[in-house]
A and B are shown apart, each in its own frame.
Chain A
Amino acid sequence: MHELLLFASVPQHQHHELLQQLAGLTAMQPRHALERRLIFKAYRKPGLGASRTGGSQDLQASGDLQRVTKMLNGGMFYTQVVGPVAENDFSPSGPDADVQMSGTEGNSAGSAGAYDYEQQPWRLEFRDVPEAGTRSAVTARVMATAALPCGDVVPAMNAWGYHFVTEYVVEGDMFTYGDIVLFLHRVLHYPSTSLEDKEPRKHLPALSEMSVMEKSGSYVLQASMTVLDGSNQETMKTASRHLFALREKLRSAVKLEMADRLSLDTRAK
């Protein structure tokens, strides 16, 4: 599958206005979304016999996981594991609950609120480097998404040759406009702890403790469209035409542009 993208930076003071404009344009209410995003990085050359060992053994059955395995072995890439979370998953009692989590199992289940790491659904989102060359002014890249088992994904990812790098939370609103998905979002950081860059958190701190990555609170507007058959020039052309039409519509509000290719470079060096 291919993905066509346009991006725009939205200053914080324009955020509310743009939300309303988008709601008007798409004739829908914004769908608020919170996502945990875990970044994984390939740490060994692919194809070194990792495919049949350990945690991935029971995953081999599923068809699209097999496909992903093949894809992931094509090169060294950063890849993301995305888990949708709800607002009330962010418990206000941050550090205490962390301690309890590392303590007895039964205790933590009671006090850690609604969030249950073992039940967290994940999906693996692989994105290739955007295609080189600017024959059309959109960012186009190969993409694939696959569902992962709930709970701890680290063993499975390790088995594929990936180790955990970092994680953050994306907060934003989603709109659908025809065949285009508009996602107005920003990155939230966890309050720093010692655990930070070793493994994904088992517990989420209060949302108010999260800090925005971009200090001025600006948002990113991403207009994306998925094309099933990326080799078909005709569909790709139609898709980018739709994106351009949207860009024209929003021209007076935001400037949607193609992203810097290297900023979306997922290759691990």
Chain B
Amino acid sequence: MVRNSSPMSLLPSHTNTRSSLQSQATIISNNLVSVSEHLSDHRDLLSSLVAYPGPDYPGRTQAGILEQLLRTKLDPRVEDWVARGRAAGSGSTPASAFTTSDAASVPAPSALAANDFKPLSDAELAELWAWAPVEANQEARRRNWGGNFTLEEREAGIENVVTGLKRQLEDDEGDEEDEEEEGDGDAEGEDEMEIVGVRRRSGAGTVEFDVAAPHHHKAEPVVPLPEILRYMTTGRMP
């Protein structure tokens, strides 16, 4: 579905770039794996080896490299990497033990989201990946994408919607021109926020961009709350 939409077709080379990136990453990772294998295979040998510069080494001019090669303690930066790697390694071990134990019953993705401190096991990840596209697609089909206004806003009258934009958004329900329009608008860079207006409104006690805001423009109470409370307390009419 995504692949057919216009932004993707505008960039035909995109998929190629991605696959080449992927193959490069695979090569790098393979190399790293083989280096790591070599290091661990020959661990005994390497740890008992002692490096010593030959007599013809230019000790005066290349002292920096020599020190690098001969130092027994790790570079502070490298030490950080190692610590991070160790932490990541030790963090994953108990979690994987947990997930393998009950891998037979994979919980629902929503339940997984609740205890997000545990990394997902492979089975759970696979489950999530199988579940998510279908669900997202279904959710997407339920909505009418591409308009500037939600159905709720349209029902309430679009002229009342506070967008914070200077330009007028048109209600392009069933209108084919919207893509061109959007392109124009972006090109002209008119999408500046009218920040002053927004602030002024929030200063008046009602913040515009709240979740409850879509209703804001309808039938705002005429008598403010303090007046109602005052009447209820003392019977004094506002």
Contact = CB atoms under 8 A, between A and B. Distances in A.
Given A213-B228, A260-B229, A39 B235 contact: yes
Interface string A202-232: 0000000000011111101000000000000
A39 B236 CA distance: 10
Contact of A263 (B219, B222, B230): B230
B77 interface: no
A215 B237 CA distance: 13
A216 B222 contact: yes
Interface in A4-57: 7-9, 11-14, 37, 39, 41
Contacts, number: 91
B221 A9 contact: yes
B233 A265 contact: yes
Contacts of B228: 9, 187, 213-214, 220
A175 interface: no
Contact of A13 (B210, B215, B229, B233): B215
B232 interface: yes
A14 B231 CA distance: 23
Contact of A78 (B225, B227, B234): B234
8 contacts: A9-B228, A11-B215, A11-B221, A166-B235, A216-B221, A251-B211, A252-B212, A253-B211
Interface of A: 7-9, 11-14, 37, 39, 41, 78, 80, 127, 165-168, 170, 187, 213-218, 220, 251-255, 259-260, 262-266
**What are the nearest 7 A-B pairs in CB distance?**
A263-B226, A218-B221, A166-B235, A39-B235, A252-B211, A260-B226, A263-B229
Interface of B: 210-212, 215, 218-235
